[in-house]
Structure formats: structure tokens, C-alpha cells
Amino acid sequence: MNDTFSARGSILIAGVTTIDGSTADIAIDETGTIVAIGDDARGAIDADIIIDGSERLAIPGLVNTHTHAAMSLLRGYADDMLLQDWLSQKIWPLEAHLSGDDVYAGTRLACLEMIRSGTVAFNDMYFFMDRAAAAVDEMGLKATLAYGFIDLGMEDKRETEIRATEALVRRIASLNNPRIRAAVGPHSVYTVSLAGLSWCAGFAKEQNIGIHVHLSETGKEVTDCLAQYGKRPAHLLDDCGCLTTRTVAAHCCWLDESECRLLGQRGVHASHNPASNMKLAVNRAMPCHWLKQYGAGLTLGTDGCSSNNNLDLFEEMKFAALLQKFAWNSPTLLPAGEVFTMATAGGARALGTGPGTLAVGAPADIALLDTRAVCNTPLFHADSNIVYACNGGAVRTVLCQGRILMHEREVPGEEEIIREAAAAAHALVERAGDEG
Ligand SMILES: O=c1[nH]cnc2c1ncn2[C@@H]1O[C@H](CO)[C@@H](O)[C@H]1O
Ligand SMILES: [Zn+2]
């Protein structure tokens, strides 16, 4: 088994079921690229590793477009609260005691959880992101990492945030790891000044990197923004240059139709986070139908583990489909195939990790599900089983860029990762002098 994880050779996945119900061989070369699918795949490479695909369903690895990975340490620390109280009374005071070691331990735990539930790439916003990068580098996923820029309207704080953002971008460039990218992370219109937002947009443009921002999560965010600036949050972000094809906007719950049109015009990718939205009772669901109508990108995220409380995108797909139907009062909204596309191709396009499909020339970012699992029986329409019946526990094997990260539910080093994260979480809460 150790050979399976350390090997960097070519891989043949033999006789695997695909989403359309057919059986195929998938050939992956040493660079981690899919070079053939189908009858000719066996001859396309001289495989170093052969994975038995019988009783397995191959899907593109899932993409989580909004999370705060290291918040896995805060799982269950503060639940059942209003967003503003939750942040200001519980989360921010605890985060004031965070160390780089905590972020490293928490991000490793998050990566482990994502691998175990079929996620291969994620869009992260947090602190000590150089340590998050080290964790991602080791764990083998793809990630876009942003420092959470929060200036609270203070000029000296803005300077600190600018330096931190620049330092992270330099650090990630120096890693020279094509799986890890930097983005700029203005937290939101209620935590960042106009000058801060404009600086973020300008720097992201100059560096040609992404922008990761929270947008219109609560009704209060909209009313406060209207009171302070006389315009709605999306229009304010646009004035500052933050709405681009490189932008991922998380939540988007309270957008009105004109804001959805604006996001479509700017080619923004919206990240739907239904579990977090329901848990924090933000009281409105992202208007997926308007965003789709106006051509914005549709993607899926979990948000951090403190508002979800896990990183399982299978659960998130189901929540998304159900919430859209319930909130907008139509059972035909967001059918299984569409939500599956959000979690795969939509996310991959937003983060630039590939097409997010199993195709020749695409990176081998693949999850293999157990076709004999209860949730896959019977298997009439694979997308229906995936979205409505399964959770991440159905995933057996995960490849990212052709590297095997989990095989038959074994991830190397997982006991140590869990032990260290548990210790870091308890020590953090103790340091903060609050038993939660
Ligand atoms: O749902 C949310 N809304 C707003 N902020 C959040 C949410 N979840 C986490 N954070 C906060 O965003 C910052 C990331 O850099 C952190 O302070 C994190 O606690
Ligand atoms: Zn968030």
C-alpha cells in the first residue's frame, strides 16, 4: 500500500463505471493527466499501478469554493447563534489566540476530511496562510489560499493587512507548487473599508490572481451597507473593482435581481453555502435561478467547520438542491445534475483547476465511489444517488493530479493528523481562557 501512495507513475483505472452508466478504462500519465478513456486506454500507457474499477463509480473530484479550513479546530465550539453574535462574541475572540501551528494542524485535519469525502480542491480564506500552504502541500490537494483581509476602517490596520496579503502571495509563488495558488481575500463590505477593497482589487489585477469575498450573507449586511454607502453590497464591491471573472463571492443570499445581473455581467463565480446559511438562519437562499439566468458561475462551498459543521460536499449538494426547492417554492429548481455540475465543473472553472470533468487532457482529479454501497443501490441515475442518497462515506479512492491521496479509505498518517488537531484545538480553547 505504501507504494500506492508514494508512486508517481502512470495509473490505469480498469473497468470503472462512469456517470452515464457505461464501463470504461481510464489511463493517467506520469504528469497526472488523463490521456485516454475507453477501449484504447489500456494500450495508451504502460501502467505502473492498476486500480480495479469494478464495483466503482468514477466521478470528477469535488471542488469546495468557500471554506476556512483551519476552523476545523472550532468544530462544535459555538453553535446555535446569530451570525453577528457568533462572530463577535465567540469566534473572533478565540481566533485572537490562534497560532501558525494551530492553522497548520487545523488545515491538515480539514484536508483529511475533504479527501475522505471526495474533495480534491478548495478555496480558503483565513490567517497564517503560509502554514495552511504547508499543510496543503503535504496533503496533496489543490487549493487557492487567501489571507482574510479585515481593516475595520482603520488606516494602520489596512497597512498591516496589505503587508500580510503581499507576503502570502510572495510566499506561495516561492513554493513553486502548481497545486497551490494565492488569492486576495477582502473579508466583506462590513469588515473592509472602501480603500481596502480597492487596494485588494488592484493588487489582484496586478498579480492576475483571484479575489475571495463574502457577499450579501445576511439581511443586516444589506441594510447596513445601504445606510452607510447608499448602495447594495454587490454594487459597492463593483465600484471598488472587486467583481471580476477571477472573483468567488461566497453566500450571495440577499442579492436582488439587479445584483445577480451585475454578477453575471462581470463573470463572477457565486459560491452557494446552504448548510452554513441554514445553520446561521440568514433567512434567504442564494437566488440560483437569477444567477443562472444572467450567466454568473454557480459553485458550491461548505464554509468553515464552525458553521456547518463538516466539509462533506456530498451533504452540501443535497442541502443545496433541497434548500433551493424549499426557499423558492419549486421542486423543479436545481435538479441533481445541475447541483453535481456546481460541485465539479462549476467549482473547477472558478478556481482554474481544470474542466472539472473526466475528459482526455483533463487533470486526473477523480473520486471512486462504491457502487455496492447501500446509497448506490439501486443505481438508476448516478447523479441522483450522488446528490440525494450518498454522503462522503461512499468514496473509496481519491486521486488529485494523478496522485493517490486515499485508497480504499486509507489515508497515510491520518491517526497522527487527528491526534495533533485534537490537541491543538483543546490547547487553543484553554489559552483563550474559555471552555466553550
Ligand atoms: O459565515 C461567515 N461569515 C463571515 N465571516 C466568517 C464566516 N465564517 C467564518 N468567518 C470568518 O471569516 C474570517 C476568515 O478570514 C475569520 O475570522 C472567520 O471566523
Ligand atoms: Zn465564510
Whether residues 72 and 90 share a domain: the answer is: yes
Q: What is the pLDDT of residue 7?
A: 62
What cell does 263 get? Answer: 454578477
In a domain, 334, yes or no: yes
Distances (CA, A) of 355 to 6, 63, 349, 361: 26, 11, 6, 9
In a domain, 427, yes or no: no
- What are the DSSP calls for 245-270, one per residue? TTEEEEE-TT--HHHHHHHHHHTPEE
Q: Is 304 in the pocket of ligand 1 (CB under 6 A)?
A: yes
The β-bridge partners of 366 are: 60, 399
In a domain, 257, yes or no: yes
Q: What is the pLDDT of residue 105?
A: 98
Q: Is 189 in the pocket of ligand 1 (CB under 6 A)?
A: no
Known binding positions: 66, 68, 95, 187, 214, 217, 303
Is ipTM beyond 0.95? yes
Residue 202's domain comprises: 62-351
Task: Point out the ligand nearest to the CA of residue 301.
Answer: 2
Q: Is 312 in the pocket of ligand 1 (CB under 6 A)?
A: no
Q: Whose CA is nearest to atom 9 of ligand 1?
A: 304
Distances (CA, A) of 7 to 322, 367, 416: 41, 18, 22
Tell me how far apart the alpha carbons of residues 391 and 42 are, in angstroms, rounded to a whole number.
Answer: 31
In a domain, 304, yes or no: yes
Whether residues 86 and 8 share a domain: the answer is: no
Q: Is 124 in the pocket of ligand 1 (CB under 6 A)?
A: no
Q: Which long-range contacts (CB under 8 A, 24 or more apart) does 333-336 make?
A: 333/288, 333/289, 334/288, 336/381, 336/383, 336/384, 336/386, 336/387, 336/388
Task: Please state whether beta strands 403-406 and 395-400 pair in parallel, antiparallel, or not at all (unpaired).
Answer: antiparallel
Q: What is the pLDDT of residue 8?
A: 77
| DSSP structure class, residue 40 | T
Specify the number of domains making up the chain. 2
Query: pTM score, two decimals?
Result: 0.98
Q: What is the mean pLDDT of each run of 10 residues along the chain (436 residues)?
A: 72 96 96 95 95 98 98 97 94 96 98 98 98 98 98 98 98 97 98 98 98 98 98 98 99 98 99 98 97 98 97 98 98 98 98 98 98 98 98 98 98 98 97 69
